[in-house]
Structure 1
Amino acid sequence: MTDRILDCLMAINLDVTIWTARRKLTPADFGGAELPPEELASLGSKRVCNPEELKVFGMLKARAVSLLDRHGVRFLGGWGIPADKAEGLVEELRKIQSEFAAAKTDFLSRYDQAVQEWISRHTGWEQLIADSTVSADYVRSRLGFTWQVYRIMPPGTNTPIDEGLKEEMRGLGNTLFDEVAKSASEAWHKSFAGKLEVTHKALSPLRTIQQKLAGLTFIEPRVAPIADLIQTAFASLPRRGMIRGGRLLMLQGLVALLRDPQALIEHGQKIIEGCTPAAILDGLLAGGCAQVSSCPNTVPQDVGQDMPVDIAEILDADDGPVFPEDLPDARPQPVLPNCGLW
């Protein structure tokens, strides 16, 4: 199992260093004032350059981390990525690296001026800053953007030497589902919680999750079924326009499912055992865990029974999308039973 995963997996380590523009405060900075002993309290730091000047480097690092998070899974202090995507990901990293290098050159070209402007901005503290400044060459050595891609080769000895790597590999599936749950929770709060309608833009994080799972199906047998489940949900949606009514309820149920790593494992196993993705989605729309557990092959007859009758009629109608003005004003809105999912 470990060898099969490692045949499809490559590891990547992102090594980005950013100068913080901070120097440690010293007792001399306080002009001989009495300070508590170091065992009781430690001094903080002072900024010797405007932190706004360095924001671009943090943004570029965040872009690189986001890129690897979208396609890989955290592994050995870096990321495990599909071997067949390594070349494309490295090409994207090269683009970010080029932007980082250009920003570095630009910043260093005006570094001395930036420091002087920072000193002038803080009247009365000029000497404190001036005494702690560093050279442009020092800053240059503290700004870097590199990465390393490598394959993992197990010792192949079946001794305790192997155990650390084997344990890491056994946990990859759980790590992946935990990452999916985190992304789904962010999508829930940003785009789905309490909404009566959403645009297709709300599907973007779900597409990212689906593509990530589809690229990492070799990690765990239940990954592919969850990727298929999301793709089946996409196929049931209209190509354009607002997403409302039963379709939105189905999506909300799907996102709630994606937020629970254990539920993902259980539903992935159900699909492996013969339950269809469409049946899972029908169960989510019905709002009952019993229907999902029994894996219906058709839409359950009791869909909407726990909802106000006119809302159930709206969801069952075949005459087009549901609009907010069609919903009864004085009645509670349908809520999917959480079934422990949210």
Structure 2
Amino acid sequence: MQTTLIMDKPMRAILIAAALLTGVAPAATAAAQSVAPSTAPARDAQFERDRQSILAQAGQYRVRFDMRENAVFRAGYEALDEKLSGGNEIVRIVYDHGDRISLQHILVMEHDGKSMVIKHWRQDWVYQPTQVLTYAGPDEWTLTSVSDADRTGAWSQTVWQTDDSPRYGGVGRWNYDNGMAEWTSNVTWRPLARRDAVRNPVYDRYLGSNRHALTPAGWVHIQDNLKMAPAQGDGGEPTAVVHEDVTNTYSRWDGYSAKPGDDYWAATKDYWAAIRDAWDAAIARGNGVHVEEEADTGVVTGMPLMDLAQKIQDGEITQDAAIAQGRRIIEDATKR
């Protein structure tokens, strides 16, 4: 029987940092979540098929993470050994408004036979978007217009970090050729994943595309990344250092308890809704957002915002007080 882990703050910080660095955990939790009926106007069969493909990613999974650097483009650089790991992860539907869908990933760390829930990444989908939030280089994200030709029949996917700060966004279409259901993004800039950022590598960003494909057992997330070094001198361009393939395979599995994850999300989802709104407001004010990146936690807001959520669940702070503090953290971190 699993029990929710209550531990001292130093140990909690160590385990949260481990989850942020690796993006994996030994165990996670899941349960059904009710979703409000869509109020969007009816669209064609392709639109509904796309929607169901996105919603099919929700569930309870065993995840296998497979990262491989496989082609070097800079003299003297040595490719990293392949990194294989795994864990258990749930994907929850935050909302379904028809043409706007949000999915929250949650994982659970194991420590001395007890479970510790860690909020993981979030993916938001928008049908025929006019704008998408994209990474523009160190510490900068910008709202990028999407042309009529690129948006027609397409979906944007915006990926957010553990504290709901931005990570990357792209636009693509669902394709059903060859017996598959697969969405592929355009090529976009992305900030370094924590597994790379903590090593102080010669590259400082990725240039990559993103694919989500359904499988009989669940779904697979495939990333095609060029790890890019910053430009040298005025007028220079970033240069490729090494190519990386990332394949994260989500296989349905109900061999672990859903309760710790359910308890965390029930206790903190309203707080996180307010944090999402605060990020949206900061992005709208600046037509994008500036926030300092930090190798350990993605951006400087990572640990403070995550800690407030844990304090809500532990009964150490009221939700209203946590929301007020969270808004101040975001406001201070996004000032120019």
Q: How high is the TM-score relative to the length of structure 2?
A: 0.26
> Which structure has the highest helix share of the two?
1
> Which structure has the highest strand share of the two?
2
**Which of the pair has more CA radius of gyration?**
1
